[in-house]
Amino acid sequence: MQIPDALERWSGKVQTVRIGATQEEGGTRSKVVEVGGETGLPFLKFEGETPNPPVVAMEVWDIPPIDWPEVLTEPFGDALEDPAKWAKKCEEFGADMICIKLVGIHPDFGDASPEQARDVVRRVADTVSLPLIVWGCDEDEKDNEVFPACSEALSGERCLLGTAKEDNYRTLVACCQADGHNLITEAPLDINIQKQVNILVMDAGFPPDRIVMYPTTGGLGYGIEYAYSIHERSRLAALGGDRIMAMPVIALPGPEAWRAKEAKGTDEEVPANWGPQMERGPMWEFITATTLLQAGTDILVMRHPKAVRELKKFVEKLL
């Protein structure tokens, strides 16, 4: 690669966040994941360092998915009926982390109790040894009811819990402070709101080196350009010395990509020249992920094992 004559020099640095705790650190994880720490734009090694490579998490639900296409469910088989078995499959597929999505606690999808959610996250933690992300159902009242039980059940594991929002952050901040977890702050593709959420969380006493930002995302063909620009502007702010924005970023290319008709549409539902879904779907997810990766994303939550495999190869080549 030809190095340009005039290099950018940055005064800022992205915080390094450590996720997972080994037995020596009071947890049960087989490894620890560190994200962040960048001193330059993604993969421009001649301008700055990327000490911690981006990591790939795979999504696991607490209930079987009811609207996933067959091409997405087939690699997992009957493991989708059991979150612990599902997580084990993800570990075998090469995931660096497991993202437990508590869909079943939502009032419209089962209204599972805090005790049921606690049992799910604990069984997953006992089955796999990867660092864990625990994601709520995005229904504030229910999340606030469930997270204390899940947080306590995983105390000492230094998980990543989310999401804390501008109007709903106090309960989750308290859980993470009490049980030693990291925190995801969420904003709807708005840098000013993202800064406000980060400020609220830090004003509540939460340390910035345990925060990961979720600026939300769009799938390929569905707002990805705007999402890219917001992610990139956030990273430029961090490198420019804005400590309020100097946190690693998490994105959901898997869930976002599989909402698109180009990915979820069966071969009978879409034009023939779109190609077979078994290739088209994972590729849509993969390209969504690589786009966000180059905007500065540190953790990518994925679904299809083929997309995961190709993404990990892509990261290795870039590094």
Give the structural domain span for 98. 38-318
Cβ pair 238, 9 in contact under 8 A: no
Burial of 145 (0-12, 13-18, 19+ CB in 10 A): middle
Q: pLDDT of 268-311, one tens digit each?
A: 999 999 999 999 999 999 999 999 999 999 999 999 999 999 99
Give domain status of residue 92, yes or no: yes
DSSP for 144-191 reads HHHHHHHHHHTTTS--EEEEEBTTB-HHHHHHHHHHT-EEEEE-SS-H
Structure tokens at 120: 């799910």
Count Cβ atoms below 10 Å from residue 60 Cβ, excluding itself: 30
Q: pLDDT of 222-260, one tens digit each?
A: 889 999 999 999 999 999 999 999 999 999 999 999 999
Cβ pair 51, 319 in contact under 8 A: no
Work out the average pLDDT over 104-118: 98
Give domain status of residue 14, yes or no: no
Where residue 156 falls (left for φ over 0; alpha for ψ -120 to 50; beta otherwise) is left
On the question of a cis peptide bond just before residue 297, with omega within 30 degrees of 0, the verdict is no
Q: How far is CA 13 from the centre of its chain?
A: 21
> Nearest CA to 8 among 41, 37, 36, 38?
41
- What's the structural domain count of the chain? 1
Q: pLDDT of 131-149, one tens digit each?
A: 999 999 999 999 999 999 9
For the chain, the distance separating the N- and C-terminal CA atoms, rounded to the nearest angstrom, is: 13
- Residue 264: DSSP 8-state: H
Give domain status of residue 17, yes or no: no
Count Cβ atoms below 10 Å from residue 194 Cβ, excluding itself: 26
Q: What b-and-e string marks burial along 293-306, b requiring 16 or more CB atoms within 10 Å of the CB?
A: bbbbbbbbbbbbbb
Residue 66: band (very low, low, confident or very high) from pLDDT cuts 50, 70, 90 = confident
The answer, yes or no, to whether residue 2 has pLDDT greater than 80, is: no
Give domain status of residue 249, yes or no: yes
> Nearest CA to 111 among 147, 150, 137, 149?
137
The answer, yes or no, to whether residue 5 has pLDDT greater than 70, is: no
Count Cβ atoms below 10 Å from residue 164 Cβ, excluding itself: 26
Structure tokens at 148: 């204390």
* CATH number, position 81: 3.20.20.20
pTM of the predicted protein model: 0.96
Residue 164: band (very low, low, confident or very high) from pLDDT cuts 50, 70, 90 = very high
